[in-house]
Structures are given as C-alpha cells and as structure tokens.
Amino acid sequence: MATKQREDDAALLAALRAGDERAFERLVDRHQAALVRVARQYVPTQEIAEDVAQEAWLGLLRGLDSFEGRSSLRTYLFRIVMNLARTRGVREARSAPFSSLVRDGEEGPSVEPERFISSPARGAGHWASPIRPWSQSAEQIALSDEAVATVYEAIEHLPENQRRVVTLRDVEGFGADEVCDLLGLSEGNQRVLLHRARTKLRQALAEYYA
C-alpha cells in the first residue's frame, strides 16, 4: 500500500472515530454505488444488494477499532461487502440468471480459432479477415451511453469469475493485487480471467460499432 494511501486512510479513520459526519458522507459518495454493484453480483435483487451495502457500512463502523491497516480502508470495506453478499447469496439461493449457465471455461484460446488463417501456405496464425475499424472515435465511444450500455450488458452475460474480476478491475478500478486478495485468486488466474472478459467485451463493442 502506498504511503499516500496510508496517510489518507489514517486521517479518515481518525475523523470517523471522532464522529465526523462529513468524512462519512464523503466515503459514502465515493463507494456506495460500487458497493451495491459488487453486492449485486452475489444476490438476486437490487433491493437485497442495497440492503447488503448498508450492512457493510455498519460492519465497517463496528470494525473500525479493530482495523489494523494491513489493507487499505477501501479494500477492507469491499471485503466486508463481499463476505456479506456471499453469505446472503447462498441464503437466497441465487446465482446470476445467465452466467451460471455459461461454462466457466478457462481453457483454450479466448479468440475463436476460426478468426485466424490455419493453412501454413497462406500464413497460419494471421487474422483471416481484417479487423474492421470502429465507426466512432475513441472520445465519442467513451462518451456514448450506448457503448456503456453495450458493455454493461455484455458483463452481465460473462461467466461469473470473469464478471467479478472485470468488474473490480476495469469498472471499480482496483489493482491486480487487491483483486487477487479480494477474490482469492492467483495472479496468473486473475490475468487469464481479465483477459478473457476483456476479449468478450471488445467483441460486444465490435459487433455494435464495426
């Protein structure tokens, strides 16, 4: 954990322990939406996810005195919400409606072999057909609600492990180390899951834009 992060966390902890409402509100603004999104991956409804997020806040406050700062406060908060959401998810006998039906394959290539030339005489391993450029600029795409909605929906359809990794990494912005820690994954496994997820999300955008 970076020194800056540790100092920020120490100041925040002191403020919370002193009952500073503003400090708590800032923390809520920063993390509430993400907590609900993460919880939602384990529980069947948005309402339950919001409920779990609220429980997580209470868990954070109650645990403040025993928080030792081994991880960042953010990682600590997300560990709490994920533990609560997992337990709640089991109780509600949930799994994601689509993703649980998808085989969680981590074997084989992430891009279909048919996309590449197979004949050695014609240059095996090269793209069989050109990568079509996207019709909009990088800026237009990043600002486009449709693009964001396309990716959001594609994430919903990912196998569970890939969905969890890409949500924490690319949506919420956690680092690789934190994600390995939160999800109990090896570094190699995290990379594979992230790669497979990103490949599918790119494909979803390609179908939309090309």
> Is position 95 an interface residue for other proteins (rule: CB under 8 A)?
no
- Residue type, position 101, single letter: L
- Contacting other proteins (CB under 8 A), which of 52, 73, 180, 205? 205
> Is position 105 an interface residue for other proteins (rule: CB under 8 A)?
no
Q: Residue 176 corresponds to which tokens in the numbers above?
A: 């690789």
> Is position 76 an interface residue for other proteins (rule: CB under 8 A)?
no
> Is position 19 an interface residue for other proteins (rule: CB under 8 A)?
yes
- Contacting other proteins (CB under 8 A), which of 86, 94, 157, 191? 191
- Contacting other proteins (CB under 8 A), which of 12, 15, 102, 176? 176
Q: Shortest gap between Cβ of 93 and other proteins (angstroms)?
A: 26
- Contacting other proteins (CB under 8 A), which of 14, 45, 113, 177? 113
Pair 102, 56: CB distance under 8 Å: no
Stretch that binds other proteins, among 67-75, 78-86, 90-98, 185-193 (CB under 8 A): 185-193
Stretch that binds other proteins, among 4-12, 41-49, 82-90, 163-171 (CB under 8 A): 163-171
Mapping DSSP onto H, E and C, the string for the chain reads CCHHHHHHHHHHHHHHHCCCHHHHHHHHHHHHHHHHHHHHCCCCCHHHHHHHHHHHHHHHHHHHHHCCCCCCHHHHHHHHHHHHHHHHHHHCCCCCCCHHHCCCCCCCCCCCHHHECCCHHHCCCCECCCCCCCCCCHHHHHHCHHHHHHHHHHHHCCCHHHHHHHHHHHHCCCCHHHHHHHHCCCHHHHHHHHHHHHHHHHHHHHHHHC
Binding site for other proteins (CB under 8 A): 19, 21, 24-25, 28-29, 32-34, 36-37, 50, 54, 57-58, 61-62, 106, 109-111, 113, 115-116, 124-127, 130-131, 133-134, 138, 141-144, 147-148, 151-152, 155, 166, 170-173, 176, 188, 191-192, 194-195, 198-199, 201-202, 205-206
